[in-house]
Structure formats: C-alpha cells, structure tokens
Amino acid sequence: MTVQIKKMIAHEIDLDRSDVYTSDELVDVSNLSEEILKFFIEHINTGVIDNKIKSCVFLQDMATVLRQVDDFVKDLSDEEAFLYMTQSMTHNLYSAMEASSSKSSGTVVFIHYFDTERDMDFLSILKMDPSNGIQYHPETRVFTLRAKMLPSSRERLHKSAFIKLVDGLWSEKLHLYVLDKQKKTDTPTKFFMTAFLQSKELVNNKQSTELVERILIDNADQGLFGDIDTIKFREKVDRLMVNNSVFNFDTKVDELLIEYFPGEGDRNNLVEIMKSELRNKEETVQFEFTVEKTNMIFVLSDKNRGIKFEFPEHLKGGDIKINTVDEHGEPVTVIKVYNADLKESQRISRKGVEV
C-alpha cells in the first residue's frame, strides 16, 4: 500500500490529571523528517492488515464520529474543519476512556491520508502510548523518535481506527477498520470500538474462509511458493483450515510455508504481501476468523466389487494415509488410519437396509 499523508494533528489525553490538551495548529507535514514519516506510514501499513484488525460499520446513521466525518468529507482540503473535528473526537475519546477501566494516557494522532492503491482517502486515529518509540512535544508540535525504537512487530498499536472518507459513507458495506485490544492480554476490548466509535464488527467467516483458501491455492498454482507439489499443497491447506476452528492468518500461513521457506523474514514478507492482496480484493476480509466451509468427502471405490471407503478430505495425508504398492505383481492399496479406534457400527444390506 502506498500512503500519501495530507494532514496531521496530535492531541494529548492525561487521565492522571483528568484533562485533555488539544492543539490549535496542524503539524507541518512538509517539515517532518524522513524517519518520522516512515514511522507513521509503517504504522498505517501494518495497522490495516493487523491480525486483530476488525472490519466494521457504524451502529447508526447518527453516530457521532460518522456525522463528524460526513461534515469533513464535504471539503477534504478544509484545515479548520479537520482541526475542529479532531479536537471534538479527542474529547469524546477521553470521555469514553474515563467511563472505562482504561488508565492509559497518551497522544492521539489524527492523519488524513490517501491510499493510492485503493484510490481513496482515509482518516487514521492512532493512540500512541508513552511506551511507543515516538514522543510528541505539544508546545512545539514536533515529534521525536526515541533511540533504536522504530516500529517493530512487537510494538504495534493497541488502539487505532482507519475510517473511509467518502461521500455517503453510511450506505457503504464497510465504514472503517478498528483495532481495539488490551495491552497485556492481546484480547479484544470494546470501549474504543463501541463507546467511542459506536461501531460493530462485520462477521463474514464464510467469505473470509473462501478468500484465504483461494489466494493460497492460486499463489501456489502461479509459482509464488516455488516449484512445489500443488496437489499436496492443496491437501495441506485443507487440513489447515478445519471447519469451526479459529484461523489466525499470520500464524497458520507461517506454519504452512515453513516447509518451503525456512527463513522467517521470507515468510513474513509473503504473509504481508498476501494480506495486502486480500484487502485490495475484498475490503471486508478478516485476518482472524472462524473457518466456515462445506466439508469435502474423499472417496476411494472399486465399483466392480462394491468397495467404497470415504472420509473428510482434510484427513487425507494426515490422520489417514493412502499408498498403493506392488505385491506379487498385483496393486495393493494400503490405508492407514491414525488417532482413531475404528469399530463396526452397522451392516447394510445390498438394498440399503440396516441388518
């Protein structure tokens, strides 16, 4: 994703002093150092494809943040409107935090940026904790980086939002992306998503399952993973995506690719590429979801003698291994079933009647 930062402003929330310190001027983006720009661009790029990011919609057409964004969209070049909107949002966020158990003060950075790949403007809301690798000086409106604390996979933000800046946002199938997780337990919380943004998650398990399965298989067929046995790869994907299991894209795809790419950096790069590709294909896709698919049945049969052996396809190559060997010039099919205690449950007559 290519990000062009258009406007930026930062405000301070101090829960210890029960106060909000809002800036009266925008940050001069043209004077930001290359390192500072890189810091925010990388946070935007990694944030929108974070495993915990949720595709969301506003709860109602009169939601406060939605109305504020709709007003700003009337003239995206209006710096005064951007200033007023972000000040108001910061006060609303402070109120939501006061009413919650949150004790995390920090800087709230608002960025109006343009995503060149999607040809769309966005408003990002990034809550920067004091422990992040950047420090904001409100008196001079200057950001400084702490030594050796550039963004890393372990330092991703815990509260952020990316809101589409388009006319008629309420009628869109997706309104915003929200990252709202606890700092210590890494589990989703609700005050940022529900109380402040007044939004809810879009649940699309079946669609996400189909999209992820398709991109993995297509990339294998196109040679992205090298010269591999694509049939075996499809079987691995099927075993990986077990119905009703939780699928975490980063973890599961890393597990899938480790056989072909021993280097962690290579795997991480491929994971990021595929997540960006998925986001561009379908804006509502989730990167952590419950697998929901139609189970395929694998069938072995010998019609001449009425022999049939069938089982869920995802077990093939895992708990069920099939091999054909030559025994005295005759083909012999060897079927091995692991982790199962098979017993005869019933007998069926030729007419299909249980006996």
Single out the residue in 269, 290, 311 at which a domain terminates: 290
Are residues 300 and 258 located together in one domain of the fold? Answer: no
Are residues 240 and 281 located together in one domain of the fold? Answer: yes
Are residues 96 and 216 located together in one domain of the fold? Answer: no
pLDDT digits (tens), the chain, 355 positions: 689 999 999 998 887 777 788 999 999 999 888 888 888 898 899 899 998 899 999 999 999 999 999 999 999 999 999 999 999 999 999 988 888 776 677 889 999 999 999 999 999 999 886 555 666 776 666 777 665 444 443 455 678 999 999 999 999 999 999 998 765 554 445 789 999 999 999 989 999 999 999 999 999 999 999 889 888 898 899 889 988 999 999 999 999 999 999 999 999 999 999 999 999 999 999 999 999 987 667 777 776 767 777 777 767 777 788 888 888 888 888 888 887 777 766 666 555 555 4
In terms of residue numbers, what domain contains 158? 3-201
Are residues 90 and 238 located together in one domain of the fold? Answer: no
Are residues 17 and 155 located together in one domain of the fold? Answer: yes
pTM over 0.85: no
Are residues 278 and 312 located together in one domain of the fold? Answer: no
Are residues 166 and 229 located together in one domain of the fold? Answer: no
Single out the residue in 156, 171, 201 at which a domain terminates: 201
Are residues 132 and 211 located together in one domain of the fold? Answer: no
The candidate with the shortest Cα–Cα distance to 41, out of 142, 158, 122, 105, is 122
| Amino acid 13: pLDDT | 87
The candidate with the shortest Cα–Cα distance to 176, out of 82, 8, 58, is 58
Q: CA-to-CA distance for 277 and 273, rounded, in angstroms?
A: 6
Are residues 118 and 216 located together in one domain of the fold? Answer: no
Are residues 136 and 31 located together in one domain of the fold? Answer: yes
Are residues 30 and 107 located together in one domain of the fold? Answer: yes
Single out the residue in 155, 170, 201 at which a domain terminates: 201
Residues 6+ apart with CB under 8 A from 141: 10, 23, 25, 27, 28
| Amino acid 156: pLDDT | 58
Residues 6+ apart with CB under 8 A from 351: none
Count how many domains the chain has.
3
